[in-house]
Amino acid sequence: MMVLNVTAVPAGLRGDLGKWLTEISPGVFVGNPSARIRDLLWQRTTELCKDGRALLIFSTNNEQGMEFRTHRHDWEPVDFDGITLMMRPDKSSKHEKNPRRTGWSTARNLRRKQRR
């Protein structure tokens, strides 16, 4: 069993996926293809995705009984001792890249110069 969730992808890709899988909701495809077909569909999805995003979840023989693959997603699958978890991006790291400026604003400095 596999579930493929695509967002903001070309209509041609959705039509192509519809040949092999059933679209149960806009952008959500479900099916039970073989592992070979699943890998070919994933490869085709990542090639044709352009600026869109894709998330693949499929059943496999491991402790969780499933595996994840992502393409251009904010959340990343991370392996913790054989268990795959989805890791959210750390929002605090974004603030470290663009530190907050301190001091007076440019507009305040211009107004102060005009008063003099």
Beta-carbon count within 10 A of 4 CB: 23
What's the pTM? Answer: 0.74
CB within 8 A of 10, min separation 6: which ones?
48, 50, 52
CB atoms within 10 A of CB 94: 9
**pLDDT by residue, tens only, the chain of 116 residues:** 999 999 999 999 999 999 999 999 999 999 999 999 999 999 999 999 988 999 999 999 988 999 999 999 888 889 888 889 989 887 765 555 556 666 778 888 888 888 87
Instruction: Give the chain's count of helices (H) and strands (E).
Output: 4, 7
Q: Whole-angstrom Cα distance, residue 78 to residue 81?
A: 10
Residue 20 CA to residue 15 CA, distance in Å, equals 10
- Please give the residue range of the domain that contains residue 42: 2-115
Question: Domain holding 48: CATH number?
Answer: 3.30.70.240
| pLDDT of amino acid 108 | 80
Number of independent structural domains in the chain: 1
